[in-house]
Structure 1
Amino acid sequence: MKRTFGAVLTILGIIGIIWGAYAFLMGGDGAMVGKFSSAVPFVIGLIFFFSGINLVKTIKDTDTP
């Protein structure tokens, strides 16, 4: 369960990073955010990405019946 949540966080982080970078490059024209406020989805994406990677990395595989 935690490994799946980590994978979801990682995917959401990747989406946030791409959206923030796209919004920054477009200057806010096509992504509904301004040039400086495009840092918000980028930073949130980084937080989600690294917390998801950390969660996947630290969870041990156990076989539960």
Structure 2
Amino acid sequence: MNLKRIFGALLTALGIGALIYAAVLFTNTSGSNQDIKSLIIYGILGLIFFTSGISLVRTTKDES
């Protein structure tokens, strides 16, 4: 297996984890400033990791 594909899968898994954590924060938020900031940060980082991981896995060619 290619190293780029492994790194892409790792980025995708981290992105999914961050998006799930942002969803948990969203359900448990009380509306304070600190809650909203952390929700935005985890959501944006999760989205960036997820999209970059998916694109890295998609564009890497399989070499046998």
How far has the Cα of 1:35 moved from its partner? 2.6
Aligned length in residues: 58
Q: Structure 2 stretches of 5 or more lacking a match?
A: none
TM-score, L = length of structure 1: 0.83
Q: What is the letter of the counterpart of residue 47 of structure 2?
A: L
Structure number with the bigger relative contact order (C-alpha 8 A, sep ≥ 6) is 2
TM-score, L = length of structure 2: 0.84
Query: 1:44 and 1:19 mapped to 2: Cα distance?
Result: 11
Equivalent in the alignment of 1:11? 13
State the 4+ residue runs in structure 1 displaced beyond 4 angstroms.
Answer: none
Q: Structure 1 stretches of 5 or more lacking a match?
A: 29-33
